[in-house]
Amino acid sequence: MAIEENIKFFRIQKEYDVQYVAGKLGMTVEEYELIESGTKDITYKQLEAIAEVFVMTTVDLIQHNDASVPGIKNYFFNQNGNNGINVKSQGVDPELIAKFYDDLYHSQLKKIPVLESLLRDNNIDYNF
């Protein structure tokens, strides 16, 4: 999808009307519609502002990454300009989480004899 198509997609997904987004961006409805239609080139500053209105990163907006991480993304921006992403496991199949946990557990179990052998071969006490 082109950037303007992504912008329109996320606006509709968020259930924002054109007037709301244009107002948040400090532009007229006509100016904003030119961006969504691809008639007007968008600056990076405008892209950042649109991403902020949609509560997402510019990368996600450009690449259309609305489901790049399972669960819920919670973007936060503090007063010092630091930002980050909290990822919650809500909406993720508990059976899938259990399967991944089980796979991880068994892969770690396989490493124990190898590590014990290395410790033994190097005369390192490992009776914890």
Structural tokens at position 94: 């508990």
pLDDT at 1: 66
Model pTM score: 0.51
Q: What would the pLDDT profile of 97-111 be if each residue is shown by its tens digit?
A: 778 888 888 888 898
Q: What would the pLDDT profile of 45-81 be if each residue is shown by its tens digit?
A: 999 999 999 988 888 888 875 544 444 454 555 555 5
CATH of domain 3-65: 1.10.260.40
Delimit the domains of the chain by residue range: 3-65, 93-128
Q: Using H for helix, E for strand and C for coil, what is the string for 88-113?
A: ECCCCCHHHHHHHHHHHHHHHHHHHH
Tell the burial category of 82 from Cβ atoms under 10 Å away from its Cβ (0-12, 13-18, 19+): exposed
Cα–Cα distance, 88 to 9 (Å, whole number) = 24
Q: Which residues contact 76 (CB under 8 A, 6 or more apart)?
A: 83, 84, 85, 86
